[in-house]
Amino acid sequence: MILVRRSGAILAAAVLAALPAAAAADGIMLVQAGAFWMGRDNGPADEAPLHRVYVRDFWIERHKVTNAEFAHFLNAAGLRPPGSERRYDEDDADVRIHRAPGRWVADPGFERHPVVEVSWFGARDYCAWKGRRLPTEAEWEKAARGDDRLREWTLTVLRPYPYRTDGDREPYTGASGRVVVRGARHDDPADSLGLTRRRSYDRRGAAAGHHFVGFRCATSEDLGEVAPGGRSE
């Protein structure tokens, strides 16, 4: 009987060892490939027409980047690389990350709040530092609205709709054109809130932080997701 139990335990251990590793919920989720309805016909001209857009598989973070996460990045990469734009408007009254002796630190009580006053260049560099990128305009809207017709920096150059994934919209580089910001602001009136809302900034605006613009990262790399919100190690 003891031998049988021991054999059973060894077999069970072998089976468990062969199973995939448990998902680590690091806050990134898979949005599966497919078409969705983008834009609308009953709004501003730059949101029309309502049209279907096909997007490939991508992964996007569930939550915006926080003050604590961006402070960690600033400590690793610095406020401004030589010859480039400032990543963070550290002297703005709305910032919640400040320079302490020798390091950047999120203000107490604001560690998990979404970071603001990050320039487009800072958002781009943070995502690259994480091995990711900013989402495109189409990816952002698909993740936000799902497959039906029913707020943040993107990788997309402002162009009129219909949206084409094979055009010259991505990536914005800061050299020319205007970069799209998606989502509503916290101080917008209620009747202006909507998933199709589009704003844009030229290079000067992209090089500045804004108190109502946050960001999150995305990637097209197959992360081997095995559970919602998680990925295999």
Q: What strand order describes the sheet that includes 28-31?
A: 28-31, 58-61, 218-219
Task: Tell me the per-residue pLDDT of 53-70, one tens digit each, with 9 for 90 and over.
Answer: 999 999 999 999 999 999
Tell me if 80 sits within 8 A of 86, measured CB to CB.
yes
Task: Tell me the per-residue pLDDT of 75-111, one tens digit each, with 9 for 90 and over.
Answer: 999 999 888 899 999 999 999 999 998 899 999 999 9
Percent of the chain with pLDDT over 90: 67
Amino acid, res. 159: R
Which pLDDT does position 116 carry in this prediction? 96
Domain that holds residue 173: 65-217
Tell me if 108 sits within 8 A of 100, measured CB to CB.
no
Structural domain includes residue 230? no
Tell me if 155 sits within 8 A of 171, measured CB to CB.
yes
Structural domain includes residue 29? no
Structural domain includes residue 120? yes
Structural domain includes residue 82? yes
Tell me if 174 sits within 8 A of 207, measured CB to CB.
yes
Total of domains in the chain: 1
Model pTM score: 0.82
Nearest alpha carbon to residue 135 among 148, 115, 153? 153
Structural domain includes residue 41? no
Q: How far apart are the first and last CA of the chain?
A: 38
- Strand pairing of 28-31 and 152-157? unpaired
Structural domain includes residue 110? yes
Beta pairing partners, 152: 182, 214
Task: Tell me the per-residue pLDDT of 105-152, one tens digit each, with 9 for 90 and over.
Answer: 999 999 999 999 999 999 999 999 999 999 999 999 999 986 554 489
CATH of the domain at 180: 3.90.1580.10
Structural domain includes residue 111? yes
Residue range 153-162: mean pLDDT, rounded: 95
Strands (E), 93-171: 97-100, 103-106, 152-157
Structural domain includes residue 5? no
